Amino acid sequence: DTEVTQTPKHLVMGMTNKKSLKCEQHMGHRAMYWYKQKAKKPPELMFVYSYEKLSINESVPSRFSPECPNSSLLNLHLHALQPEDSALYLCASSRTGVVTPASPLHFGNGTRLTVT
């Protein structure tokens, strides 16, 4: 079982809807990440929170809004999405803010998002 929990597992939303993806980890990790993965492609980094502060935003459109309420939780708020935003959204965490063999990325199962 993964130690990074993502909800929901599946989400279908219309282009005018507002929804949120949730991620939770209780490993005491201090960095959390959002990745987007299209079919047959590697994950693409969207956001990084390090010690609860946004440290990386990979030029993600404003219709995606991350939030890190505390060190264990990470949300991704969605609004006015487009059909091309349909993808698998993966959350990950690492022990520190630097990915090393001692602090590898641990991924959740992902949320499969479909925008209609």
User: For the chain, what is the total number of helices (H) and then of strands (E)?
Assistant: 0, 11
Beta bridge partners of 21: 76
Residue 70 backbone phi and psi in degrees, to 5: -155, 180
Beta bridge partners of 54: 49
Residues 73-102 that bind other proteins (CB under 8 A): 88, 90, 92, 97-101
**Residue from 45, 60, 73, 80 in contact with other proteins (CB under 8 A):** 45
Shortest distance, position 68 Cβ to other proteins, whole Å: 14
The yes or no reply on residue 50 touching other proteins (CB under 8 A) is yes
Residues 21-40 that bind other proteins (CB under 8 A): 31, 40
**Residue from 11, 48, 76, 78 in contact with other proteins (CB under 8 A):** 48
Residue 46 · residue 58 · CB < 8 Å: yes
The yes or no reply on residue 66 touching other proteins (CB under 8 A) is no
